């Protein structure tokens, strides 16, 4: 039997209308579909011949071990199947894709990459702001507050870079993140949180670095959410903390 392949696919932040045509084509070819925790289960409707396996991974919750997921992909691919590993957001951004690529290629398995829209980009779109507004920043920095080794980012260096900060996996330590950045940035620095970006459950909060953590906790914001900090965030659309943005659900034929 010929060796199959694995497709690492970014499913975007939740709205299935944001899937690319390339992603839909990959789903149609799938024999096995491995779905992350935050992926809309309805995506399986776009993979009609696939066996669907839930391999949830979510911070602070019981998760499918990474080693098990990798061995599962290898086993099905070596049996000649097309395996589509569906990740929320962008597959190559904080999704452990590097580990999976190395593991699979070491086994002689072809890996295809299909990009998706990251939650950080969807959050910025929901806020109606540019992450790289040239009058307010020098660029954008994507950073995780949940380091693999238990450490924390170099907040001083990130603050000094004058970029818009897009912080993933930071809600469980939002107070710590805000306090650490507050040592290097003014308390009045614009900041925001967008939870469940692009989905019907979306909520957004626009505040300042000094008030962000308290306002987010008071309004009940939690994961999955993206934190944005920087002068460019000052151009975000103001919205009451508890507001939800109604969005059309994915229309299926």
Tally of CA atoms within 13 A in the half-sphere of 23 that contains its CB: 24
Q: CA–CA separation, 133 vs 226, rounded Å?
A: 19
pLDDT of residue 246: 42
pLDDT of residue 249: 37
- What CATH code is assigned to 5-114? 3.40.1010.10
pLDDT of residue 63: 73
Q: CA–CA separation, 36 vs 13, rounded Å?
A: 12
pLDDT of residue 250: 38
Q: CA–CA separation, 69 vs 67, rounded Å?
A: 5
Q: How many helices (H) and strands (E) does the chain have?
A: 7, 10
Distance of CA 68 to the CA centre of its chain: 21
- Is 126 within 8 Å of 196 (Cβ atoms)? no
Which tokens in the block code for residue 241? 């903390």
Of 198, 243, 185, the C-alpha closest to 225 is: 198
- Is 146 within 8 Å of 122 (Cβ atoms)? no
- Is 81 within 8 Å of 7 (Cβ atoms)? no
pLDDT of residue 2: 77
- Can you give the residue ranges of every domain in the chain? 5-114, 119-235
pLDDT of residue 181: 97
- Tens digit of each residue's pLDDT, the chain (253 residues): 578 999 999 999 999 999 999 999 999 999 999 999 889 999 999 999 999 999 976 555 567 899 999 999 999 999 999 999 999 999 999 989 999 999 999 999 999 999 999 999 999 999 999 999 999 999 999 999 976 667 789 999 999 999 999 999 999 999 999 999 999 999 999 999 999 999 999 999 999 999 999 999 999 999 999 999 999 999 997 654 444 444 433 333 3
In this prediction the pTM is 0.88
Q: CA–CA separation, 84 vs 82, rounded Å?
A: 7
- Is 73 within 8 Å of 65 (Cβ atoms)? no
**Regarding the domain delimited by 119-235, which CATH topology (the fold level of the hierarchy) does it fall under?**
3.30.950
User: Which residues have a catalytic role annotated?
Assistant: 36, 57, 169
**Structure letter (DSSP) for residue 28:** H
Q: What do you get for the CA distance between the two ends of the chain, in Å? A: 36
């Amino acid at each position: 039997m010929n060796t199959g392949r694995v497709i690492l696919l970014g499913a975007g932040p939740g709205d299935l209308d944001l899937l690319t045509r390339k992603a839909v084509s990959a789903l149609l070819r799938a024999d096995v579909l491995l779905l992350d925790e935050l992926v809309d289960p309805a995506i399986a409707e776009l993979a009609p011949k696939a066996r669907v396996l839930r391999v949830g991974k979510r911070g602070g919750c019981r998760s499918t071990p990474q080693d098990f997921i990798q061995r599962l992909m290898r086993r099905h691919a070596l049996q000649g199947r097309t395996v589509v590993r569906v990740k929320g957001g962008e597959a190559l951004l904080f999704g452990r894709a590097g580990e999976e690529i190395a593991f699979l290629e070491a086994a002689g398995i072809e890996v295809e990459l299909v990009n998706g829209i990251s939650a950080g980009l969807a959050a910025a779109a929901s806020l109606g702001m540019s992450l790289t507004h040239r009058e307010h920043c020098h660029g954008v920095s994507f950073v995780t507050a949940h380091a693999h080794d238990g450490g924390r980012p170099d907040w001083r260096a990130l603050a000094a870079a004058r970029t818009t900060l897009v912080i993933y996996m930071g809600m469980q330590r939002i107070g710590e993140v805000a306090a650490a950045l507050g040592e290097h940035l003014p308390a009045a620095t614009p900041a925001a949180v967008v939870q469940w970006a692009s989905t019907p459950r979306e909520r957004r909060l626009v505040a300042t670095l000094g008030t962000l953590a308290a306002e987010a906790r008071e309004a009940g914001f939690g994961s999955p959410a993206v934190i944005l900090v920087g002068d460019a965030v000052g151009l975000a659309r103001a919205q009451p903390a508890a507001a939800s943005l109604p969005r059309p659900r994915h229309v299926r034929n």
